[in-house]
Structure 1
C-alpha cells in the first residue's frame, strides 16, 4: 500500500490582506504557523513512525508549512516549483478587486483549459496541469510508500485528478473545492489496483 497525503497550506498573509495569491510569495501568518503545527499533529498521528517523504511547492507559505511537517518526521523537504499554484500574472499580489474587474470569465463551453483569464503573464489551466501531472508522476516513481505533498488549493485539486487517472484534457470541468490547511488522504490499494480517496479536505484541526 502507498499512502499519499495532500496538504493545502494554511492561512497566509495574502488571505488576510485580500490580495491575489498565485505566485505572490506570501508568508504564513501567526495563525497559519499554529495551523501548520496542528497539521503536523494530524499527520504524525496518521503516519506514526513510518518513514516519510515531504514534497512541497517552493513558495514561502508552502515551504514554511512543509518544514514544520518535516521536522516532526526528522526528514528534509524536497522543493519543486512545478507544485506552485497557477499564476495570475500581473494580478499576483494585487487586491482581489483589481483581478475581479479585469478577469475574463471562464466560458461554459469550448476549450476551457486553454482559456486565458486576462492579466498579462497569467497561466492557463492547461499550463497548470501540464506541469502538475509530470510532477506527481515523478514523486510517485520514488520508492517511499508514505509521501506528503504541500501545495495550494487549485493545484491540489488537479493533483487529485492526476491521482485518479483522469486524463489532463478531461480536467476542464471536474474540481475539488479545498480549504486552506486541509488534508486529503489518498491510498494505492495493491489488491484491487485502485487509487483511492480515503479522506477529502479534513479541516477539524484548523480551529486555532
Structure 2
C-alpha cells in the first residue's frame, strides 16, 4: 500500500518571515498576508484534488496547522498533526535576524549559507537530522494509503531536506534546490523506480 503522489506544502507567511528572523521550532502564527496565502493555496489545490482520495498531515506548529486547515476545510478531510514534520530546530538562532547570527556565529552561519550540514545555533539540529525525521514521517503516512494523494504541510527547511532524502540524493546538495516559498508546494510521484520530483515551488 502506498500513495500515488505526495504534495509537500510550506506554510504561509508569518511576521518572523517578513522580518527575516529564524523561526525553527518557535511557534509563530500566520500573519494577515500568510492567512491570505493559505486561502489562495487551498483554492488552487482544491481544484486539483476535489473528488479524489486525499489524506492530510501537518506539522503541529501553528503556522503549518493553520495553512493545512484552510485546505482541509474545503476538502472536508481531517488534519493529522505530526511533530516530526516540524522545522529544523535552530537552537540559539531562533528569533534572531541573519545580521545578528552573522555577528554571533560567523563561521557556522557561513557554512550554513554554503549549504553545509552544520548544527544550527549550537544546540539545534543539522539539516540531515531534520530531513531524516521529516522524511520518515512522510514515508509512514504514505504507506498507510493504498492510493490517492498525501498532503504534508510543513516548513521550508525540513521539507527541502526530506525531498533530498526521499530521492536518495547523495551528499545533501542543499543549494541544488531553491528554498520553498511561503504557501508554495512541491510534488513527488511514486513509481516503480521510486520517488520522482515532478513539480517544485508551485503556487
- The TM tier, using the shorter chain, reads 0.7 to 0.9
Q: 2:72 aligns with which of 70, 73, 87?
A: 70
Q: Which residue of structure 2 lines up, in the alignment, with residue 18 of structure 1?
A: 20
C-alpha distance in 1, partners of 2:112/2:77? 44
Given candidates 152, 155, 159, the residue that maps to 2:158 is: 155
- Provide the secondary structure at the position in 2 that maps to 1:69: helix
How many residues of Structure 1 are paired with residues of Structure 2 in the alignment?
195
Scaled by the length of structure 1, the TM-score of the pair is 0.84
| Secondary structure, counterpart of 1:23 in structure 2 | coil
Please, which moves more after superposition, 81-90 or 93-102? 93-102
Deviation of 1:197 (Å): 2.1
Which segments of 5 or more consecutive residues in structure 1 lack a partner in the other structure?
204-208
In 2, the alpha carbon distance for the partners of 1:124 and 1:196 equals 24
The residue that corresponds to 2:95 in the other structure is: 93
Higher helix fraction (1 or 2) = 2
Aligned to 2:30: 28
After TM superposition, give the deviation of residue 100 of structure 1 in Å: 2.2
- The Cα offsets for residues 17-62 of structure 1, whole Å up to 9 and x where unpaired, read as 3322111211111111111011111111111211211111111110
Alpha-carbon distance in structure 2 between the residues aligned to 1:184 and 1:200: 4
Q: Are 1:157 and 1:175, in contact at CA under 8 Å, matched by a contact in 2?
A: no
2:83 alignment partner in structure 1: 81
Q: CA deviation at 1:152?
A: 0.9
Q: CA RMSD in A?
A: 2.3
Q: C-alpha separation between the residues in 2 aligned to 1:60 and 1:165?
A: 30
2:111 to 106, 129, 134: 106
SS in 2 for 1:106: helix
In the TM superposition, residue 173 of structure 1 has moved relative to its aligned partner by 4.5
Aligned to 1:10, what secondary structure does the other structure show?
Answer: coil
What residue ranges of structure 2 are gaps of 5+ in the alignment?
none
Q: What is the CA-CA distance between 1:195 and the residue it aligns to?
A: 2.2
SS at match of 1:7: strand
1:201 corresponds to 2:177: no
Give secondary structure in 2 for the equivalent of 1:186: strand
State how far apart, in whole Å, the 1-side matches of 2:22 and 2:9 are: 20
TM-score (norm 2): 0.85
Question: What displacement does 1:174 show?
Answer: 5.8
Structure 1 counterpart of 2:177: 176
